[in-house]
């Protein structure tokens, strides 16, 4: 399925203007259809839909990449900033699996960006006219949500523990090494949620994560699938998790035990290997640190590795994300077997959870995270997701507790 508002004969006209500091990016968003990719105050936000591309199936990344290349190939661009994220920008959110689920790239009609002490406004017109200037609209303050009620999603906690136990049985029997299993939780509000409320809370509470909002998928992910910026490719791989207790001294001891835990180190190694192998064909050199560091988030701590490579390929950031997806952090090892096990025993439509989410500019540079610690929003109903990497030593009750900890950011963000 392809839906685009672009008149066939008109090239898009794009104008990027440098502006003085307009204030926090997330506070510039109107309530209607906010798009965002923000970390520590920097990033891009957008609104309005100049054009969009919707697609389904195994070809979703290639089809979306081709559409974007075609759009920017004929665009008339006046960009006085020339940084990654200036000029035309599309926000995207992709389904985890080939079926079911739809994926989209959305081209806002206004984008505001901030990076390294510079701010810019990009306006886009697809009707062949000169786009409007850099004046930003006055917007209302984010609306506090009414009390949200929670209910089990596809499975109760006990049912999910049984699914995890089945995965451990298969791993122990030698069918595979690791599989990531997910669960969902339903949140219902009496009225549609103003997405700017949870977005602002996520960004304040989890400044080291990438807070995103794309086409009804919102969240704050700690995991960067890939960033491509002028020939430099980077990726933050996470796997191996421990819950925080709230007691700093105890948490430091837990972090030290995480860094020594053979179960977590083994799980982490799978994930790093899968990312390094997928990036290798695109990179002329790559730096893969030998051991991970511990990433401290307010709710959990993760083993983390930052990979960096130099690319001379013209593959866009989206094409790189496609090559990396699904990494062992959301699929498992070996990937094909893990995906079959997920399809067979998970009993959940992941939709866009754990799929790539992010943005791309006209040069193909961009950032794609993995849609974790996230929710799919339709009006007043949300599906919250969390998943856990299961290996031979996994204990179902501990994995359930870990999934509960991973749901905390979204639950907190929805509280009034």
The full 3-state SS of 179-239, as one line of letters, equals EEEEEEEEEECCCCCCCHHHHHHHHHHCCCCEEEEECCEEEEECCEEEEEECCEEEEEEEE
Q: How far apart are CA 313 and CA 285, in angstroms?
A: 12
Total number of residues binding ligand ISC (CB under 6 A)? 17
Binding flag, residue 223, ligand ISC (CB under 6 A):
yes
**Which of 201, 302, 325, 350 is close enough to bind ligand ISC by CB under 6 A?**
302
Q: How far is the CB of 374 from ligand ISC (least distance, A)?
A: 8
Please enumerate in sequence order all residues whose Cβ is within 8 A of that of 66, keeping only pairs 6 or more positions apart, or say none. Answer: none
Encoded one letter per residue, x for contact with ligand ISC by CB under 6 A and - for no contact, window 226-255 reads: ------------xxxx--------------
Which residue, 79 or 267, is less far from ligand ISC as judged by CB? 267
Which of 64, 354 has the CB closer to ligand ISC? 354
Q: Are 41 and 208 in contact (CB under 8 A)?
A: no
The alpha-carbon radius of gyration of the chain (Å, integer) is: 21
Please, where are the H alpha helices in 225-384? 248-260, 262-279, 317-324, 335-341
Which residue lies nearer to ligand ISC by CB, 375 or 388? 388
Site for ligand ISC in 136-155 (CB under 6 A): none
Smallest gap from Cβ 406 to ligand ISC, in A, equals: 4
Q: How far is the CB of 54 from ligand ISC (least distance, A)?
A: 25
Cα angle, residue 277 at apex, residues 272 and 279 outer, rounded to 5°: 95
Give the nearer residue to ligand ISC in terms of CB position, either 199 or 372. Answer: 372
Residue 15 engages ligand ISC in binding (rule: CB under 6 A): no
Residues 99/71, Cβ–Cβ less than 8 Å: no
**Buried b or exposed e, range 154-181, using 16+ CB within 10 angstroms:** bbeeeebbebbebbbebbeeeebbbbbb
**Kindly report the CA angle at 236 between 232 and 242, in degrees rounded to 5?**
170
- Residue 248-287 contact track with ligand ISC, rule CB under 6 A, x = bound: ----------------------------------------
**Binding to ligand ISC by residue 180, rule CB under 6 A?**
yes
Shortest Å distance, C-beta 26 to ligand ISC: 22
CA angle 6, 98, 369 (to 5 degrees): 75
Phi first, then psi: give them for residue 415, nearest 5 degrees. -80, 150
Name the residue nearer to ligand ISC (CB basis): 106 or 163.
Answer: 163
Q: Which is nearer to ligand ISC, 122 or 211 (CB)?
A: 211
Contact, 36 vs 199, CB < 8 A? yes
How many residues are present in the chain?
416
State yes or no: residue 304 binds ligand ISC (CB under 6 A). no
Give whichever of 302 and 352 is closer to ligand ISC, judged by the CB atom.
Answer: 302
Residues numbered 335-374 forming contacts with ligand ISC, rule: CB under 6 A: 372-373
Chosen residue from 105, 111, 187, 329 binding ligand ISC by CB under 6 A: 329
Distances 248 to 245, 255, 295, 404 between C-alpha atoms, Å: 8, 10, 14, 20
Residue with Cβ nearer ligand ISC (131 or 355):
355
Q: Which of 223, 269, 346, 402 is catalytic?
A: 223
Q: Is 223 one of the annotated active-site residues of the chain?
A: yes
The number of beta carbons lying within 10 Å of the beta carbon of residue 379 is: 11
Query: Residue 294 CB, nearest distance to ligand ISC (Å)?
Result: 12
- Contact set for ligand ISC, span 383-412 (CB under 6 A): 386-389, 406
Note if the bond before 100 is cis, omega within 30 degrees: yes
- For residue 178, indicate whether it is catalytic: yes
**Which candidate in 18, 159, 178, 346 is catalytic?**
178
**Least distance (Å) between residue 39 CB and ligand ISC:** 17
Least separation, in Å, of the C-beta of 105 and ligand ISC? 23
Give the shortest CB-292-to-ligand ISC separation in angstroms. 11
Active site residues: 178, 223
Query: Can you give the binding site for ligand ISC, defined by CB under 6 A?
Result: 180, 182, 223, 238-241, 302, 329-330, 372-373, 386-389, 406
């Amino acid at each position: 399925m392809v839906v685009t508002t672009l008149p066939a004969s008109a090239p898009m006209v794009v104008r990027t203007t440098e502006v003085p500091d307009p204030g926090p990016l997330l506070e510039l968003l109107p309530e209607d259809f906010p798009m965002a990719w923000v970390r520590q105050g920097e990033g891009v936000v957008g609104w309005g839909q100049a054009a969009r591309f919707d697609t389904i199936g195994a070809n979703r990344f290639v089809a979306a990449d081709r559409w974007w290349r075609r759009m920017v190939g004929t665009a008339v661009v006046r960009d006085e900033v020339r940084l990654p994220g200036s000029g035309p920008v599309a926000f995207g959110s992709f389904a985890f699996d080939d079926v079911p689920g739809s994926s989209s790239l959305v081209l806002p009609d206004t984008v505001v960006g901030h990076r390294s002490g510079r701010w810019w406004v990009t306006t886009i017109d697809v009707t062949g006219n000169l786009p409007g200037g850099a004046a930003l609209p006055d917007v209302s303050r984010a609306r506090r949500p009414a009390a949200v009620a929670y209910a089990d999603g596809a499975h109760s906690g006990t049912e999910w523990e049984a699914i995890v136990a089945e995965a451990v049985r298969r791993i122990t029997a030698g069918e595979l090494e690791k599989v990531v299993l997910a669960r969902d939780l339903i949140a219902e509000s009496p009225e549609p949620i103003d997405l700017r409320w949870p977005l602002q809370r996520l960004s304040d509470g989890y400044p080291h994560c990438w807070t995103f909002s794309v086409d009804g998928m919102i969240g704050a992910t700690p995991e960067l699938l890939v960033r491509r910026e002028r020939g430099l490719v980077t990726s933050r791989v996470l796997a191996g998790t421990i819950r925080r207790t709230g007691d700093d001294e105890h948490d430091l001891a837990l972090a030290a035990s995480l860094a020594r835990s053979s179960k977590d180190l083994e799980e982490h190694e799978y994930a790093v290997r899968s990312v390094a192998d997928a990036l290798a064909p695109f990179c002329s050199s790559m730096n893969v640190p030998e051991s991970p560091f511990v990433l401290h988030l307010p709710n959990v701590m993760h083993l983390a590795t930052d990979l960096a490579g130099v690319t001379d390929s013209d593959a866009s950031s989206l094409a790189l994300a496609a090559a990396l997806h699904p990494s062992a952090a959301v699929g498992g090892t070996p990937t094909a077997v893990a995906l079959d096990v997920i399809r067979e025993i998970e009993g959940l439509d992941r939709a866009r959870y754990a799929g790539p989410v992010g943005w791309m500019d006209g040069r193909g540079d961009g950032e794609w995270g993995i849609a974790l610690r996230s929710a799919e929003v339709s009006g007043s109903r949300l599906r919250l997701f969390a998943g856990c990497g299961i290996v031979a030593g996994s204990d179902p009750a501990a994995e359930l507790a870990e999934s509960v900890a991973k749901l905390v950011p979204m639950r907190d963000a929805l509280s009034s």
